[in-house]
Amino acid sequence: MNQTNRFTGKTAIVTGGAGGIGTAICQRLAGEGAFVIVTDTNAENAHKVAADITAAGGSAVAIPADISSEAACTDLIAQAFALRGQIDVLVNNAGITRDTLLMRMTEEQWDEVINTNLKSAFNLTKAVIKPMLKARSGSIINMSSVVGVKGNAGQANYAASKAGLIGFTKSIAAELGSRNIRCNAIAPGFIETEMTAKLDEKVVQSWREGIPLKRGGSPEDVANACVFMASDLSSYVTGQVLHVDGGMLT
């Protein structure tokens, strides 16, 4: 693993770290010297990501958790703090979709998406700000989406959760800025992952044609943006939404 010292001595927690964008973020932060705590409901995959990072020369452990539970989030932060004595970066990346038209959407589908995508960010951020306030330092990054900005048919639950994260981000930035705690959001566009690889090629090509750069992004593109937002490179940036979408919403 090609390490630099940008995050040496710092601890980062990444939710949804066991696949796609989350794994890329974990690997990128570890490659920059961070000790990464990989959190996911899939314990086996979370441990594999942490093991792969360690094998590549980085530092990581897995602490699987159901972050839709406030108690689980409080316990996660307590474990992380006991292990490291500090938490410098929190990336609220966990997210799911349960797509269907509103008239067919069940209350369970609505609640599941809101709880995983939005409530989890509330739970973890509330728990993590206590040690960050004591340290008078920290960077919180919430993974939103272009869908949270423009909406999308068949994704009312997902769009609501991602739009909620933007409002949450701006509010937390206003509340905690005086304590040198920053909070920003990243809004990815069409990112090519294992999930999008299952889509019909005609659908994918249609998406690409609507993007000024004429291609999808990679998980690494989002991870690079995350490094910027998490590090001192963005020390005077808070309450912002960084679009990583190839110009999709231009």
Catalytic residues: 158
Which ranges in the chain belong to alpha helices (H)? 20-31, 43-55, 70-84, 107-114, 120-135, 147-150, 156-176, 201-209, 219-230
d(CA 171, CA 127): 16
Give the three-state DSSP class for 190. coil
Residues 6+ apart with CB under 8 A from 64: 39, 40, 41, 42, 43, 46, 47
Give start and end residues of each alpha helix (H) in 85-218. Answer: 107-114, 120-135, 147-150, 156-176, 201-209
| Chain-centre distance for alpha carbon 234 | 17
